[in-house]
């Protein structure tokens, strides 16, 4: 029987150690030949016998005397040392192979081990964070010198960023200044750059921004769309299997209802996608008011000349307006007078003048009498 050496790696299997020298079935571990009767095969004895009638009962696997036990243990230790040195190479190879087989599970059990493979590293990686969906809106009020020019610049800025111009409204206030309001849609990535560019077009009067997180709503709608599509597919599958007309009619109604719900969810999903991918900017452009002269400034010659010219131009304007208003009536009146003088009047009957008494000449006696009176006075 050969001794067994336990595996240094902790393996359960035992490996028999062979000692140098010719192997003989008649020799035991210590090189001794037990005595046995000829013609009988060696066999293991596991019986109980009593050496002394009055002594204790001893059970033994090998028939050897008890006093030789220390010597046998020493000889066995020496034999094991020699056998280990002789078969060290094979034992080292076997132990190394067992260690290599046992090492990978131990490395796999440790997260982030150097011997771990890519699959193990991927399994321990943290889950990817869900994308955030935000609806961004802003409002700007900018005062500019030239509204049409600023409007063209705003259009160019938005189109270069990949957006577009939506609603537009242009009007004039009580003072005659032009004012334009328009809605701009720009990609979220270029949202801040477009805002900065629009602010630099003139004098900023107002700015407001708002951000609304709709991530939960987007995830909920996507989940409902997925479930509704699966529901529609199941109803269609049932319709394909239906054989009765009543079942087909019922399933068609159910399919129509679920299809309507699915279309509503898809429309809501598209609206959320549009509002989260494109930001909305409400831009208001107004003209800069003209600076009026201060009240405490004394008017000069140029101011008086300008005022007189304005008054003269205003008077001419009003005269022209009055002339334009009276001219139609004057033309009609002139035509009527011309018709009267040329047509109507010559046809009227002429009236004869009444006879007048002949003028009486003064009597000559009166002056003579006056001469006599003047001579008498003298």
Residues 160 and 174 in one domain: yes
In a domain, 180, yes or no: yes
In a domain, 192, yes or no: yes
| Sequence-ordered strand ranges (E) for 7-90 | 14-16, 48-49, 58-59
Structure tokens at 344: 């109507």
Residue 264 predicted with pLDDT over 90: yes
In a domain, 168, yes or no: yes
The residue among 47, 63, 85 that closes a domain is: 85
In a domain, 226, yes or no: yes
Residues 143 and 178 in one domain: yes
Predicted pLDDT at 360: 54
The number of folded domains in the chain is 3
Query: How many angstroms separate the CA atoms of 277 and 189, rounded?
Result: 9
Residues 24 and 78 in one domain: yes
Residues 223 and 195 in one domain: no
Residues 222 and 161 in one domain: no
Residues 177 and 224 in one domain: no
Rounded to an integer, the average pLDDT of 93-108 is 41
User: What percent of the chain is modeled with pLDDT above 90?
Assistant: 14
Residue 305 predicted with pLDDT over 90: no
Prediction pTM value: 0.41
∠ Cα 261 263 265 (to 5°): 70
Residues 164 and 211 in one domain: yes
Residue 12 predicted with pLDDT over 90: no
Give, rounded to a whole angstrom, the gap between the first and last alpha carbons of the chain: 218
- More confidently predicted of 370 and 145: 145
Residues 149 and 202 in one domain: yes
In a domain, 25, yes or no: yes
**Helix %, strand %, coil % of the chain (to 5):** 50, 15, 30
Residues 240 and 211 in one domain: no
In a domain, 310, yes or no: no
Of 17-26, 123-132, 184-193, the range with the lowest mean pLDDT is 17-26
Query: How many angstroms separate the CA atoms of 286 and 305, rounded?
Result: 32
Residues 194 and 224 in one domain: no
Q: Dihedral through CA 120, CA 123, CA 129, CA 130, nearest 10?
A: 130
Predicted pLDDT at 25: 46
Q: Give me the residue label for tokens 């809106």.
A: 137
Render pLDDT for 186-238 as a digit per residue (tens, 0 to 9): 998 888 898 888 888 888 888 888 988 988 988 999 999 999 999 999 989 98
Structure tokens at 40: 């009988």
∠ Cα 200 205 206 (to 5°): 100
Query: How many angstroms separate the CA atoms of 243 and 234, rounded?
Result: 16
CATH number of the domain that residue 146 is part of:
3.30.70.260
Structure tokens at 25: 């079935």
Q: How far is CA 266 from CA 108, 262, 340, in A?
A: 46, 6, 86
Residue 294 predicted with pLDDT over 50: no
∠ Cα 208 211 215 (to 5°): 170
Residue 20 predicted with pLDDT over 50: no
Predicted pLDDT at 222: 92
Q: Give me the residue label for tokens 């009767």.
A: 37
Mean pLDDT (the chain, rounded): 70
In a domain, 21, yes or no: yes
Residue 14 predicted with pLDDT over 50: no
Q: Which residues contact 246 (CB under 8 A, 6 or more apart)?
A: none
Render pLDDT for 335-352 as a digit per residue (tens, 0 to 9): 998 888 888 878 777 766
Render pLDDT for 21-51 as a digit per residue (tens, 0 to 9): 444 444 444 444 455 544 444 444 444 444 4
> How many C-beta neighbours within 10 Å does residue 210 have?
10
Residue 118 predicted with pLDDT over 60: no
Of 154-163, 178-187, 252-261, 363-372, the range with the lowest mean pLDDT is 363-372
Q: Do residues 200 and 219 touch, judged by C-beta distance below 8 A?
A: no
Domain enclosing residue 178, as ranges: 134-215
In a domain, 377, yes or no: no
């Amino acid at each position: 029987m050969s001794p067994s050496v336990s595996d240094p790696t902790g393996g359960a299997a035992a490996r028999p150690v062979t000692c140098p020298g010719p192997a003989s079935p008649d020799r035991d571990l210590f090189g001794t030949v037990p005595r046995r009767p000829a013609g009988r095969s060696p066999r293991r004895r596991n019986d109980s016998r009593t050496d002394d009638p009055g002594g204790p009962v001893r059970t033994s696997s090998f028939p050897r005397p008890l006093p030789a036990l220390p010597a046998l243990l020493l000889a066995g230790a020496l034999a094991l040392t020699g056998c280990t040195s002789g078969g060290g190479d094979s034992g080292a190879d076997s132990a190394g192979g067992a260690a290599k087989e046992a090492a990978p599970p131990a490395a796999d059990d440790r997260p982030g081990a150097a011997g771990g493979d890519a699959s193990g590293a991927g399994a321990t990686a943290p889950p990817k964070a869900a994308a955030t969906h935000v609806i961004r809106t802003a409002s700007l009020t900018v005062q500019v010198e030239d509204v049409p020019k600023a409007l063209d610049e705003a259009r160019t800025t938005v189109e270069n960023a990949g957006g577009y111009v939506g609603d537009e409204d242009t009007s004039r206030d009580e003072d005659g200044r032009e004012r334009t309001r328009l809605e701009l849609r720009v990609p979220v990535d270029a949202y801040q750059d477009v805002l900065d560019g629009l602010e630099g077009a003139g004098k900023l009067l107002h700015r407001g921004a708002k951000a609304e997180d709709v991530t939960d709503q987007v995830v909920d709608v996507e989940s409902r769309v997925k479930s509704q599509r699966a529901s529609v597919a199941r109803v269609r599958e049932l319709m394909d299997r239906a054989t009765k007309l009543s079942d087909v009619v019922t399933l068609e109604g159910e399919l129509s209802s679920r299809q309507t719900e699915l279309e509503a969810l898809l429309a809501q999903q598209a609206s959320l996608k549009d509002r989260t991918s494109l930001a909305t900017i409400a831009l208001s452009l107004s003209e800069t008011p003209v600076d009026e002269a201060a009240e405490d400034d004394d008017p000069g010659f140029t101011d008086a000349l300008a005022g007189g010219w304005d008054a003269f131009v205003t008077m001419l304007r009003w005269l022209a307006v009055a002339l334009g208003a009276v001219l139609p009536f004057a033309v009609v009146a002139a035509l009527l007078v011309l018709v009267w003088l040329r047509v109507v009047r010559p046809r009227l009957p002429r009236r004869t003048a009444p006879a007048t008494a002949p003028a009486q000449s003064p009597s000559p006696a009166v002056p003579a009498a006056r001469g006599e009176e003047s001579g008498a006075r003298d």
